[in-house]
Amino acid sequence: MRFVDEFRDAEKAHALAARIASLCEPGRQYKFMEVCGGHTHTIYKHGLEDYLPESITLVHGPGCPVCVIPMGRVDDTIHIAEQDDVIMTSFGDMMRVPGGRGSFLDSKAAGTDIRMVYSPLDSLKIARQNPDKRVVFMAIGFETTAPSTAMTLLRAKQEGLDNFSVFCNHVTIIPAIKAILDSPDLRLDGFVGPGHVSTVIGCEVYQFIAKQYGKPIVTAGFEPLDILQSIYMLMVQLAEGRSEVENQYSRVVPWHGNPKALQVIGETMELRPYFEWRGLGFISHSALRINDDYAAYDAERIFEIPGVRVADPKACQCGEVLKGVLKPWECKVFGTACTPETPIGTCMVSSEGACAAYYNFGRFSRERIQEASHV
Amino acid sequence: MSGEGGVREQASANWAEEAVREAAAREQLDVTQSQGHADPEHPVVRDREQEVLDRIDRARRARPRVKDERITMAHGAGGKATHSLIEAIFLDAFRNPLLEAMEDQAVFAVHGTRLAFTTDSYVVSPLFFPGGDIGDLAVNGTVNDLAVSGARPVYLSAGFILEEGFPVEDLRRIVRSMKAAAEAAGVQIVTGDTKVVQRGKADGCYINTAGVGVLDRPVSLGAANARPGDAVIVSGPIGDHGVTIMLARGELDIESDITSDTAPLNGLIDRLLDATTGVRCIRDATRGGVATILNEVAVASQVAIVVEEDTVPMRAEVRGAGEILGIDPLYVACEGRFVAVVDGAEAEAALAAMHSHPLGAEAAVIGSIKADPPTLVLLKTEFGGTRIVDMLIGDPLPRIC
């Protein structure tokens, strides 16, 4: 299949892997963080770690939009859904995320009308079709999905729809990366930079990572060869003693991002003073809310939001996993109390979460399967 | 508001704290019980990751329980939640040796004649889709659940639950499809039932069919029969039905010529069983797809299954839809495909027999059975890596970015 097969070519992967291995200094350990959950998913889905020498470790970062939503915001969403005549809509990944008192699926089973949509524009369609209902879109995601929420707000205003609103939970990637770089217990050698987010914000914004923190970053695509090539590019930078921002995903990511997308975000949203991230705590200027011009479409102003913060169980170590301090399996409740069927932490819910990816795809001992997988 | 940092209260998630306590208690019990049961075949690698893997393994073997207060859509999706529901609620109450086998049908003898008996309900939406409708499915699904035991399907029942206001012309169309499907499969619909419920209490038309088949052959097929060295065969391209339905719902604005694969498999299975006595087990890959069947076989037979990704037959449309929607076609339902586990030495003969039948023209060996690690389904990816193919959790939800 075009645009797929050429990025999954095993022969090319072997060649790249050999070049990566040749760049490893004996005795040195390398730790790279892939920021984006989509990368984590690709790494596990294709078994990419099989190509890496033992001295290279991939650390899974906080770029899974579902994983960083705190339980309190899930509860708030369910609270809105419980109001009269409300149809709540959100992306499929959110349906199973547990809040303090259950998930959207549980709430739906208890009688609320929560629907999965593929795009916020689908919510708008539902609003048009149900003029006697109040339709709310629970918006989540980084700068990747924020433009489509923004476009939906513009469209809603143009059409003069008065039964549609957005419960905005959009977050921004840069403060999260900063939080990780400032985390004292983590030593990284470089970053596999987020791909989809960069299509919107570009690569220039990562300069502080290379300049101030001295870490190389390579923006990467989502096919397994993309990621392998990015790791190679990181290794070359390290070997040459460079620390720069490079763009492996240039077929999609423009260096300066997408000005149109940034413009529509700016037209409809503004930075919050601070926002709670699951596992990472409150981070200032790290999330978006709807601005005054679009107040009529802001669910936080239309509905009364309980805003109760729900603490994670003490045993849950999502924060450490999100920061890459712990490997998923090092969490105390991994695989026992917390499993994909009954997730406690959000990292276990989304297929892009580090814990779910490891549990679903990588839960085996490499030595033990060697014989089985030798065909 | 929480977003503005004005945290008014702190609450804790009681359910989560409780889950942690329960798992800790269970773990304590498991450790006590398993002391002194070292497995000499596999001296346990005492590194921490292996300890965690062992712990997970024990947790997975724990008796399934349903903790949910209400039924959610996940309970019907064919994955882990469905299995837990069946084992913890239905099997627990109805327990008997026939049911415990957890096959698609029960096989028993009446006055020396071996019979197969099965039932299935159909709630597909939309009722009509490219390549078929709920009527075809209701006949073919039950025919297939009988045929995979090696039985010759003979008689079917049909129960209809109709919603007030449902167009009679639609019902006629569905019934015509059922008649044609029954004729094609060589079965008769010999008994039935009709109920009408108030508008809004059902989605147009639901159908339940039950079926009886006769086992003329001395075969005893079952998911627990797989052995190391066996080959795993699928009867044709996977995922056609599920993708057709997703597209037919019209929510995705994707157009394609793909049609449902709904078909009676008894003819093809006959040909396979005529060709070789090396067949261990056959299952039709409906809800939960091929991956679910493989997991069921791996667990029932306590074996590992290794699948080669690039050998799995799949239409480009299915692959493309999977890529776009973030759905793994291995989990997508088929309605006219089966997975067969066959003695490795007989695989070629089995494949040749299947290729001689129109419904098996694209059959392929996709993997093999290994001894270790038991219960795991491993995929050798096209890219050259290895990963697990686990039982599905809930509905196959699309990823967002």
Q: Is the pLDDT of residue B223 over 80?
A: yes
Q: State the nearest Cα–Cα gap between A34 and chain B, in angstroms.
A: 15
pLDDT value at residue A183: 84
Please name which of A228, A263, A277, A267 lies closest in space to residue A248, comparing C-alpha atoms: A228
Identify the closest residue of chain B to A300 by CA–CA distance.
Answer: B1
Tell whether the model's pLDDT for residue B6 goes beyond 90: no
- Subunit contact B11:A45, Cβ cutoff 8 A: no
Residue B5 has pLDDT above 60, yes or no: no
Average pLDDT over residues B370-387: 93
User: Residue B262 above 80 pLDDT?
Assistant: yes
* Shortest CA gap B247–chain A (Å): 13
The C-alpha of B148 sits at a distance from chain A's nearest C-alpha, in angstroms, of 28
> In this structure, are B141 and B189 located in the same domain?
yes
Same domain, B60 and B138: no
> 172-201 in B: which are within 8 Å (CB) of A?
none
The pLDDT of residue A344 is: 86
pLDDT exceeds cutoff 70 at B396: no
Contacts of A196 in chain B (CB under 8 A): 401
> Of the residues B64, B97, B130, which one is the last residue of a structural domain?
B97
> For residues A100 and A310, what is the distance between their CA atoms, to the nearest angstrom?
6
Which residue has 């899930």 as its token pair? A74
More confident residue, B365 or A5: B365
Same structural domain, B185 and B307: no
Which range (A135-144, A147-156, B322-331) has the least confidence? B322-331
Give the DSSP H or E segment for B298: helix B289-301
- Of the two residues B396 and A92, the one the predictor is more confident about is A92
pTM of the model: 0.89
Among candidate residues A322, A343, A362, A340, the one with its CA nearest the CA of residue A64: A322
Residue A116: its chain B contacts at CB < 8 A? 397
- pLDDT band for position B67 (cuts 50, 70, 90): confident
Residue B398 lies in a domain: no
Residue B45: per-residue pLDDT: 43
Same domain, B207 and B229: no
Cβ atoms of residues A353 and A64 within 8 Å: yes
When the pLDDT of each residue in chain B is averaged and rounded to a whole number, the result is 89
Q: In chain A, what residues touch B379 (CB-CB under 8 Å)?
A: 47
Instruction: In whole angstroms, give the CA distance from residue A276 to residue B3.
Output: 6
- Chain B residues close to A341, C-beta within 8 Å: 80-81, 84, 393-394
Which one of B41-50, B67-76, B157-166 scores highest in mean pLDDT?
B157-166
Which has the minimum average pLDDT: A123-132, A259-268, B182-191, B392-401? B392-401
Find chain B residues with C-beta within 8 A of A361's C-beta.
387-388, 390
Q: What is the DSSP string of A94-142?
A: GTT--BTTB-HHHHHHTT-EEEEESSHHHHHHHHHH-TTSEEEEEEEES
Q: Do B387 and A275 touch (CB under 8 A)?
A: no
Same domain, yes or no: B234 and B266: yes
Residue ranges making up the domain that contains B267 = 223-388
Q: Which residues of A touch B3 (CB under 8 A)?
A: 73, 169, 272, 275-276, 287, 289, 300, 307
Q: Please state which of the ranges A116-125, A191-200, B54-63, B178-187 shows the lowest mean pLDDT.
A: B54-63
CATH code of the domain in which B351 resides? 3.90.650.10
What residues of B are in contact with residue A335 (Cβ under 8 Å)? 52, 55-56, 59
B127 is a domain residue: yes
The more confident residue out of A96 and A89 is A89
Band (pLDDT 50/70/90 cuts) for residue B236 is very high
pLDDT of residue A12: 94
A305–B1 CB contact, under 8 Å: yes
Beta carbons of A313 and B7 less than 8 Å apart:
no
B41 pLDDT exceeds 60? Answer: no
Q: What share of chain A is helix, strand, coil (3-state, %, to 5)?
A: 45, 20, 35
Please answer yes or no on whether A48 and B383 come within 8 Å at the CB atom. yes
Same domain (yes/no): B125, B158: yes
DSSP for B90-141 reads IIHHH--HHHHT--SSEEEEETTEEEEEEEEEE--SSSEETTEEHHHHHHHH
Is the pLDDT score of A227 beyond 50?
A: yes
Domain of residue B207, CATH code: 3.30.1330.10
Whether residue B282 is found in the same domain as residue B186: no
pLDDT at A99 over 60: yes
Tell me whether B10 touches chain A (CB under 8 Å).
yes
What is the structure's pLDDT at A80? 98
Residues in chain B: 401
Q: Which of B214, B233, B254 is the last residue of a domain?
A: B214
Contact A272 B26 (CB under 8 A): no
Instruction: Select the residue from A7, A46, A145 to test the B interface by mutation, using most B Cβ atoms within 10 A.
Output: A46
- Which phi-psi region, left, alpha or beta, contains residue B200 (left: φ > 0; alpha: ψ -120 to 50)? left
**Statement: residue A261 has pLDDT above 90:** yes
| Of the listed ranges A139-153, B49-63, B106-120, the one predicted with least confidence | B49-63
Confirm whether B208 is domain-assigned: yes
Cβ distance B386 to A289 less than 8 Å, yes or no, reads no
The reply to whether B390 touches chain A by the CB within 8 Å rule is: yes
End-of-domain residue from the set B214, B235, B265: B214
- Quick check: B60 and B69 in contact, CB under 8 A? no
The pLDDT confidence band at residue A353, using thresholds 50, 70 and 90, is confident
At residue B132, does pLDDT exceed 80?
Answer: yes
Q: Which residue of chain B comes nearest to A43, CA vs CA?
A: B385
User: Do residues B46 and B140 share a domain?
Assistant: no
CB pairs under 8 A between A and B: 268
Both B384 and B238 in one domain: the answer is: yes
B270 and B376 share one domain? yes
Residue B399 lies in a domain: no
Report residue A61: phi and psi, to 5°.
Answer: -90, -170
Q: How confident is the model at residue A254 (pLDDT cuts 50, 70, 90)?
A: very high
Selected residue of B372, B383, B397 to mutate for chain A interface (largest A Cβ count, 10 A): B383
Mean local confidence (pLDDT), A337-363: 84
Same domain, B271 and B376: yes
pLDDT at B206 > cutoff 70: yes
Q: What is the pLDDT of residue A63?
A: 83
Q: Taking CA atoms, what residue in A is nearest to B48?
A: A330
Phi, psi of B124 (to 5 degrees): -60, 145
CB contact (8 A) between residue B84 and residue A96: no
Interchain contact, B10 vs A309, CB within 8 Å: yes
Is A311–B304 a contact, with Cβ atoms under 8 angstroms apart?
A: no
**What pLDDT does A186 receive?**
77
Tell me if B215 sits within 8 A of B107, measured CB to CB: yes
Among residues 73-92 of chain B, which lie with CB inside 8 Å of chain A? 73-74, 80-81, 84
In this prediction, residues B295-301 reach a mean pLDDT of 96
Task: Report ipTM (2 d.p.).
Answer: 0.86
Query: Do residues B239 and B370 share a domain?
Result: yes
B318 within some domain: yes
B177 domain residue, yes or no = yes
Considering only CB atoms, B19 lies closest to which of A308, A330, A337, namely A337
pLDDT of res. B2: 44
Q: What is the number of domains present in chain B?
A: 3
Residue B46 forms contact with A (CB below 8 Å): no
Q: Do A335 and B56 touch (CB under 8 A)?
A: yes
pLDDT tens digits along A287-324: 999 999 999 999 999 999 999 888 887 888 888 887 77
Position B401 scores a pLDDT of: 47
Segment B93-105 shows an average pLDDT of 94
pLDDT of amino acid B165:
97
Residue B33 confidence (pLDDT) above 70: no
Beta-carbon contacts of B130 under 8 Å, excluding residues fewer than 6 positions away, are B244, B248, B257, B258, B259, B260
B52 in a structural domain: yes
Strands A86-91 and B10-12 come out as: unpaired
